Amino acid sequence: MVKLEPFGQVAVKMGFCTQEDVTKALETQRGLSLEGKEHKLIGLILLEIGALSTTQLIQILQYYEHGARVPELEDETA
């Protein structure tokens, strides 16, 4: 099984937001879960808090579409 880079890590690597933005988004995501609310994707949270633009979100999704794999995380049997 192939593991993909975490969305927040890709966003930071591409220079679209800071690690602090990602941390804030993850805290928001965790808070929603603790409140029993519907899961919200981190990309949408980053968009809502203004850390990402719609264009940047699309660019990250395109990055995934073209195979954003982390070789060291790939299953040895794959």
- In a structure prediction context, what are the per-residue pLDDT tens digits for the chain, which is 78 residues long? 668 889 999 999 999 999 999 999 999 999 999 999 999 999 999 999 999 999 999 999 999 888 765 544 444 444
Does 66 map to a domain? yes
The pLDDT score that the predictor gives to residue 57 is 96
Does 1 map to a domain? no
Residue with tokens 């579409």: 65
- Count up the domains in the chain and report the number: 1
Does 57 map to a domain? yes
Q: Is the pTM of this model over 0.85?
A: no
Domain range enclosing 37: 7-72
Does 78 map to a domain? no
The pLDDT score that the predictor gives to residue 74 is 44
The pLDDT score that the predictor gives to residue 76 is 45
Does 2 map to a domain? no
Q: How many CA atoms lie less than 13 Å away from 48 in the CB half-sphere? A: 11
Does 16 map to a domain? yes
Does 55 map to a domain? yes
